[in-house]
Amino acid sequence: MLDDVAIACSTGGFKSVFLHGVLSAFESAGLRAGAYGAASSSVLPVAAAAIGQVNVLGLEHWQAGQRLKQQPGVGMSQVVLAGIADTSPWLCQYLFESDSPRFVIAVSAVDAEGSVETQGKRGRRRGRLLLLAAARGDRSWVDDHLTGHLFDTRSTDESLRLTAENFAEVAYASGRMLHAWDTPAYVAGRPYIDAFYTNACPALELAELGYQTIYALATEPILYRDIFQEEVMPKSWGDAAIQVITPDFDPAELGVDYTGATEQGLVRVFNHGLEKGKEFLV
């Protein structure tokens, strides 16, 4: 295990099949980091990588979600919750052992006023408004109502410690984009929404925790720090070096987008991730 190395993975919906491929290449080569960080759709594959089981999770994880999404009346909340229910029991058997790597999950906490618009019937409308605001670079609602939080298996703050008991709640909360996820997200009764609104990839947070080399895995050709796409992930932060791994193209070009994917597209984007992971390790 490389104790001073951390791997941070970004948001991306079905596009996260790319970083799953990269993680699979790392695992096959025997690369094991001292810490892993995830945001949104990357949580489950990164958790599997942290316990050395990302190849067990495999491409079938994404294919199952794609098949479920095609069923009438099934939305992204149902797809994500089904994936969590299927994987969290065995992930939690190993993720919280004393010798397991550190694992952190980024989320966006919502204040009481903001929760009125995010946790009920108004959630989709607020989600659409936030997408428009992000396109305009208007951070006002996010700055007023959201705070980036980091759940951490080694947190000294019990309210932010990631445990087997809250893992499923945190995993769902980290990936709840308002415009397409109907089911509200809470952790211990506190409202949360997708990490992407405040933190697309917890690479800088891992650097601040003391890791000297961060491998930041993206799902698009440019890794931005959040949904506003104004700040690109830097190559260093403090004393830490940040090495970003990106796909050569937007997975949407192959039919793999945030809320949907083709079966062939999933295979091709996963294999591209495998190739990029192998190239990185040469």
Q: In the beta sheet, which residues pair with residue 191? A: 186
Compute the chain's Rg from CA coordinates.
Answer: 17
CB atoms within 10 A of CB 59: 18
Provide mean pLDDT across the span 65-86: 95
Average pLDDT over residues 254-259: 96
| pLDDT given for residue 20 in this prediction | 98
* Domains, the chain, ordered by start: 2-281 (3.40.1090)
pLDDT at 277 over 90: yes
pLDDT in tens, 135-171: 999 999 999 999 999 999 999 999 999 999 999 999 9
Residues 176-201, mean pLDDT to the nearest whole number? 96
Percent of the chain at pLDDT > 90 equals 98
Q: pLDDT per residue over 35-65, tens digit each?
A: 999 999 999 999 999 999 999 999 999 999 9
Amino acid 215 reads Y
Residue 38 sits at the vertex; the CA angle it makes with 36 and 41, to the nearest 5 degrees, is 145
pLDDT at 250: 98
Q: What pTM did the predictor assign?
A: 0.97
Strand partners, 102: 35
DSSP output for 97-135: STTSPEEEEEEEEE-HHHHHHHSSTTHHHHHHHHHHHHH
Asked if residues 245 and 9 have their Cβ atoms less than 8 Å apart, the reply is no
H helices present in the chain, as ranges: 17-28, 43-50, 54-57, 60-69, 76-95, 112-118, 123-136, 140-145, 167-174, 203-208, 263-281
Q: Which two tokens stand for residue 208?
A: 């601040």
Q: What pLDDT, in 10s, does the model give residues 192-240?
A: 999 999 999 999 999 999 999 999 999 999 999 999 999 999 999 999 9
Q: Bridge-partner residues for 8, per DSSP?
A: 37, 216
* pLDDT (0 to 100) of residue 192: 98
Mean pLDDT score across all residues of the chain: 96
pLDDT reported for residue 1: 72
